Amino acid sequence: MPWSKRLLADLRSDHAGETGAVWIYKGAAAAQRLRGHSAEAREFVGQHLESEQQHLDFFDDLLEAQHTTKLLPLWRACGFVLGFAPAMVGEAALFATVEAVETFVEEHYDDQLAYLRSNGEMRSGGHAERHAEGSDGGVAELVRVIAACRDDEVSHKNDAASRGSPREAQPVFVAAAVRAWARVIDAGSRLAVVASRAV
């Protein structure tokens, strides 16, 4: 594929992330069947799963199989556990998890959009020009779709935040646990991006 190494690594990390996202909601749905969440929480998972599947389909179509990360089985397993475990704890834990994950993803896509919009890809050796018929090598279309994904992730984050218990209403130890859990998710996500870019 005639894209720069940098852009390919970005897209590979997006594909990995969307794979993980789909499996987070598959894990959450499995736990909901065992644990019996409210209709609202089940609807939340169903809607988010559908949206993440659309994101994954886009990156699936974009990347040839040999350009996806070799770690996909690992991200499917991690995603499943990351959705299943909090959903078994309860709805509030699931919403806090989704909020933390989507906070990371928003930043991830924002960084990429800033790079693409600054035309870094165009200056990286001119490969992009040959990729598609458009004079910008398809970069404008890529920016449009990634920006749409990013907007979806922000609405997922806001949806989770609005359903979770308000910060002020949480006992101090719960708020501390939620903050610690969010830091674990952030660190794990960063590691997953680095690994997926590399292999």
Q: Is 121 in the site for Fe ion (CB under 5 A)?
A: no
Find the binder of Fe ion among 131, 150, 156, 163 (CB under 5 A). Answer: 156
Least Å distance between CB 17 and Fe ion? 7
Find the binder of Fe ion among 15, 28, 37, 52 (CB under 5 A). Answer: 52
Choose among 194, 198, 199: nearest CA to 104: 194
Q: Is 21 in the site for Fe ion (CB under 5 A)?
A: yes
Distance of alpha carbon 149 from alpha carbon 105, whole angstroms: 10
Q: Is 14 in the site for Fe ion (CB under 5 A)?
A: no
Phi, psi for 102 (deg, rounded to 5): -70, -25
**Contact (Cβ atoms closer than 8 angstroms) between residue 96 and residue 164:** yes
Q: Is 131 in the site for Fe ion (CB under 5 A)?
A: no
Distance of alpha carbon 170 from alpha carbon 155, whole angstroms: 23
Tokens in use for 20?
């993980």
Find the binder of Fe ion among 55, 131, 150, 163 (CB under 5 A). Answer: 55
Question: Where do contacts with Fe ion occur on this chain (CB under 5 A)?
Answer: 18, 21, 52, 55, 153, 156
